[in-house]
């Protein structure tokens, strides 16, 4: 029996790492994009309505604080609900294995047959998996849950809160430090670059198409800023 190619075996740890960090990656990317777009859109609207530096700075700091806390709490609540649901499903599976083991074995064999296994192979695989760890086997095949890798609400909350804060710093600096005549164009430019970086990082970590992620981020963020700029300009004219 020949050994597997080096490039094949070396890819396994990387694939496992990607799978394990998808939840934090999702929360982090969402938080960073929200921080960039939300704070930038808010500040562009305010700058379009007033050039008061105190108002702009206060709005930026309040926007980042409120947004980061909201994202962190929202992620914690959402992921906690998901984790509770997964644990409830696992507990139900555990009870079923206790009360109807033969039925569960047949179900696992049927699930294997749906993937293309022959009946004999599927049943033998089900028997061996049940002898080793019946709950884990059923959780993965039937529920799509890995009992060893349940989602962590704290990881998602921290990732989202931190990423939102870091993302919001870019438009804050450009809107607060730039000369009045350059605040809006410089904020647009900074945000486009930041969203392109965010899209590149998310695509690279998730092994996804880079250009699609960049375009999605940049177009969405630009649209949000354009709308709030229009609102701010309208409000400023009528103040």
Q: What is the pLDDT of residues 179-208, one digit of tens each?
A: 888 888 888 898 899 888 888 887 887 778
Q: Are 69 and 205 in contact (CB under 8 A)?
A: no
Residue 21: band (very low, low, confident or very high) from pLDDT cuts 50, 70, 90: low
Q: Is residue 127 part of a domain?
A: yes
Q: Which two tokens stand for residue 178?
A: 């730039």
Q: Is residue 16 part of a domain?
A: no
Question: Any alpha helices (H) in 50-100, and if so which ranges?
Answer: 53-99
pLDDT at 124 over 60: yes
What is the DSSP code string of 2-23? PPPPHHHHHHHHHHHHHHHHHH
Total domains present in the chain: 1
The residue-averaged pLDDT of 120-136 equals 81
Nearby residues of 233 by Cβ (< 8 Å), 6 or more positions away: 48, 49
Q: Is residue 18 part of a domain?
A: no
Q: Are 141 and 109 in contact (CB under 8 A)?
A: no
The residue-averaged pLDDT of 145-168 equals 83
| pLDDT > 90 in the chain, percent | 7
Q: Is residue 2 part of a domain?
A: no
**Neighbour-count burial of 155, counting CB atoms closer than 10 A to its CB (0-12 exposed, 13-18 middle, 19+ buried):** middle
Cα 123 from Cα 135, distance rounded (Å): 16
Q: Is residue 14 part of a domain?
A: no
Length of the chain: 239
Residue 172, domain extent: 23-237
How many CB atoms lie under 10 A from the CB of residue 120? 10
Cα 201 from Cα 234, distance rounded (Å): 36
Q: Is residue 8 part of a domain?
A: no
Q: Is residue 202 part of a domain?
A: yes
Q: pLDDT, tens digit, for every residue of 61-99?
A: 999 999 999 988 988 998 889 888 888 878 887 787 778
């Amino acid at each position: 029996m020949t050994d597997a190619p080096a490039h094949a075996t070396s890819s396994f740890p990387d694939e496992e790492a990607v799978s394990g960090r998808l939840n934090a990656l999702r929360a982090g990317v969402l938080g960073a994009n929200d921080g960039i777009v939300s704070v930038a859109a808010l500040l562009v609207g305010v700058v379009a309505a007033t050039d008061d530096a105190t108002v702009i700075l206060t709005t930026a700091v309040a926007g980042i604080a409120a947004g980061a806390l909201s994202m962190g709490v929202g992620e914690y609540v959402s992921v906690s609900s998901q984790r509770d649901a997964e644990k409830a499903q696992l507990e139900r599976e555990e009870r079923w294995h206790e009360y109807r083991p033969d039925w569960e074995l047949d179900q696992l064999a049927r699930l294997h047959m749906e993937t293309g296994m022959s009946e004999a192979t599927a049943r033998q695989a089900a028997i061996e998996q049940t002898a080793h760890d019946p709950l884990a086997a059923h959780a993965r095949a039937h529920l799509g849950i890995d009992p060893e890798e349940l989602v962590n609400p704290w990881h998602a909350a921290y990732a989202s809160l931190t990423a939102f804060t870091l993302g919001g710093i870019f438009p804050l600096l450009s809107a607060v430090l730039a000369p009045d005549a350059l605040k809006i164009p410089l904020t647009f430019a900074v945000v486009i670059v930041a969203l392109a970086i965010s899209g590149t990082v998310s695509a690279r970590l998730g092994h996804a198409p880079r250009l699609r992620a960049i375009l999605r981020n940049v177009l969405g963020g630009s649209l949000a800023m354009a709308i709030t700029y229009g609102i701010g300009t309208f409000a400023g004219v009528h103040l």
